[in-house]
Homo-oligomer: A and B are copies of this chain.
Amino acid sequence: MSEPVHEALAAARLVDHHCHGVVIDGLDRTDFESLLTEGAAWPGISPFDSPVGVAVRRHCAPLLDLPRHAAPDAYLARRAELGPQEVNRRFLTAAGTDVFCVDTGYAPERLTTPVELAAAAGGTAYEIVRLEGVAEAVAARGVGPDAYADEFRAAALEAVGRPGVVAVKSVAAYRTGFDLDPARPSDAEVTRAAADWLAHGGRLADPVLVRHLLWTAVDLGLPLQLHTGFGDSDIRMHRVDPTHLTDWLHLTAGTIPVLLLHCWPYQRQAAYLAAVFEQVYLDVGLTLHHVGPARSRAILAEALEITPFRKLLYSSDAYGVAEFHLLGALSFRRGLAALLQERVDADELSLPDALRVVAWTSGDNARRLYGLPALSPVPPGERD
């Protein structure tokens, strides 16, 4: 049977609208296993023995010239033998991703720059500026509470003015969750909160300053990516249901696009917001590679239950290991293809409509939203 939707998705050149770099150095077993999981590598419970580990052994091993389902030891040995540069090149090339929008604000390991990442894949790099990082850099270099708001804004403006920057991002989900007063804080409130934060240090997690950061994003005018749902143990999951943002979305309607990232297990809640707010978009990145191709179709089916087809984007949210840049793409392609092809086969969807959904979600929605060229040259020399 010819399966034109599968073929279209297999051939699609993806825009990965939210991902991270890959680790430059070689990884020993502990390092690699730590990067495989949002948890940690625990004694007796290898991250290889999980859905993502199974997916890596199934889909990534052949790209290292190993049989499908290769054992972890063989996998790691071959990975070490080839060396990080060759491994990354193989996975990034196989991902079939044309455009990488890279969040450069989280890098506990030594990572590729956006340009290095894209170059290994033969693609184009853009950058996402993480606003918490900008605020914390302002605090780190020393600023008075009265000057905090202005200096944060100036630093954010400078950051987004760099070539290749197409969006900002917030990890408010990790810092306070979304159950925030939706209103823009007053100058006095910000100064007071800044005084407290600057006196005590630490990462930016004050609810007033997180609100201020979100409203600063509105002023910047670029699309805002918001971590939503799934992440590491630093998340309080019940506080990151994106529908807690409803009042804020009402207040900011008509300003900037808001991109809900990851979303699982709140993909239906995110879909609801995308269906009723013009400015809301979503993806199920991060989730896609953690559940693997065996389950990505089910997640996408929930994410698409009521989502307008111009509102779903692709992202991998891959971090650290290029396996995830590949797996995210593979899970997206196979899950969406299975979903759409079944509807075409049941005559619930026409083939031309299915192919439009493929084109939109795999890249056109992101290109339109971020103002990317249809086939863009590598932007000159940005570095995180």
- Interface residues of A, Cβ cutoff 8 Å to B: 37-40, 42, 44-45, 47, 49-52, 54-55, 58, 68-69, 230, 232-233, 235-238, 241, 243-244, 246-247, 249-250, 264-265, 268-269, 272, 275-278, 287, 290-295, 298-299, 301, 304-311, 343, 346-350, 353, 356, 368
Given contacts A39-B278, A238-B243, A348-B54, contact A47 B308 (CB under 8 A): yes
Given contacts A236-B247, A291-B306, A306-B290, contact A50 B275 (CB under 8 A): yes
**Which residues of B sit under 8 angstroms from A233, Cβ to Cβ?**
246, 249-250, 276-277
Query: What is the distance, in angstroms, from A282's C-beta to the closest C-beta of chain B?
Result: 14
The 4 closest A-B pairs by CB, nearest first: A237-B243, A265-B268, A69-B350, A233-B276
Who on chain B is nearest to A351 by CB? B69
Which one of B47, B278, B306, B350 lies within 8 Å of A40 (CB-CB)?
B278
Expressed in whole angstroms, the Cα–Cα distance for A39 and B40 within the complex equals 41
**Is the Cβ of B243 less than 8 Å from the Cβ of A236?**
yes
Copies in the complex: 3
Interface centre among A68, A243, A268, A294 (most CB of B within 10 A): A294
**Which residues of B sit under 8 angstroms from A298, Cβ to Cβ?**
301
Which one of B238, B305, B349, B356 lies within 8 Å of A244 (CB-CB)?
B238
Query: What is the distance, in angstroms, from A294's C-beta to the closest C-beta of chain B?
Result: 4
Which one of B237, B243, B301 lies within 8 Å of A295 (CB-CB)?
B301
**Is the Cβ of B58 less than 8 Å from the Cβ of A347?**
yes
**Which residues of B sit under 8 angstroms from A307, Cβ to Cβ?**
50-51
**Is the Cβ of B275 less than 8 Å from the Cβ of A265?**
no
Query: What is the distance, in angstroms, from A128's C-beta to the closest C-beta of chain B?
Result: 23
Query: What is the distance, in angstroms, from A198's C-beta to the closest C-beta of chain B?
Result: 26
Expressed in whole angstroms, the Cα–Cα distance for A291 and B305 within the complex equals 5
Expressed in whole angstroms, the Cα–Cα distance for A246 and B173 within the complex equals 14
Query: What is the distance, in angstroms, from A289's C-beta to the closest C-beta of chain B?
Result: 10
Interface centre among A232, A249, A265, A343 (most CB of B within 10 A): A265
Given contacts A39-B275, A233-B277, contact A347 B68 (CB under 8 A): yes
23 chain-A/chain-B pairs, Cβ below 8 angstroms: A37-B308, A38-B276, A39-B275, A39-B276, A39-B308, A44-B368, A45-B278, A47-B308, A49-B308, A50-B275, A50-B309, A52-B306, A54-B348, A54-B349, A233-B249, A236-B246, A236-B247, A238-B244, A290-B306, A291-B306, A294-B343, A294-B346, A298-B301
